[in-house]
Amino acid sequence: MELHQIKDQGAEPPRVVLPMPEADLTERIQAARTIGEISAVVADSPQSIEAWAALAKLHEEAEDGAEGLVSAYACYRVGYHRGLDALRQSGWRGSQLVRWEDVSNRGFLRCLAGLGRLAGRIGEQDEADRCADFLARLDPT
């Protein structure tokens, strides 16, 4: 991956922008309506942060009790770690911003927010707090 950094001349530290996913992958993610359909996308493109975020969201919304919560938590966690890997490959060293306004960053930010939300729901409050703090540091707006 190539380096995608934007330097702001103001007080804001530089930010990292993840590369946009391929258009056909984005279309497949958007077209998937069921856990089975998005699972097939994830199986074909396991590096896709957006696909993991979509799968996690469907599990979270499935209302199937503990199984859905744990599945959503696990999917958000995988997407979060895939996102950290992608950020590092794009030049992120831990101090740059990762802004929501940059569309290609949204899958990672959704995974981080979802991981925090689900951590809280399964009783991992320390992790939920760490995720909230990290999210606020990455995009303080």
The CATH fold assigned to 21-138 is: 1.25.40
The total of other beta-carbon atoms located within 10 Å of residue 94's CB is 9
pLDDT tens for each residue of 79-101: 999 999 999 999 999 989 999 99
pLDDT tens for each residue of 66-80: 999 999 999 999 999
pLDDT tens for each residue of 7-49: 444 667 899 999 999 999 999 999 999 999 999 999 999 999 9
Say how many CA atoms lie within 13 Å of 31 toward its Cβ: 8
- The domains of the chain are located at 21-138
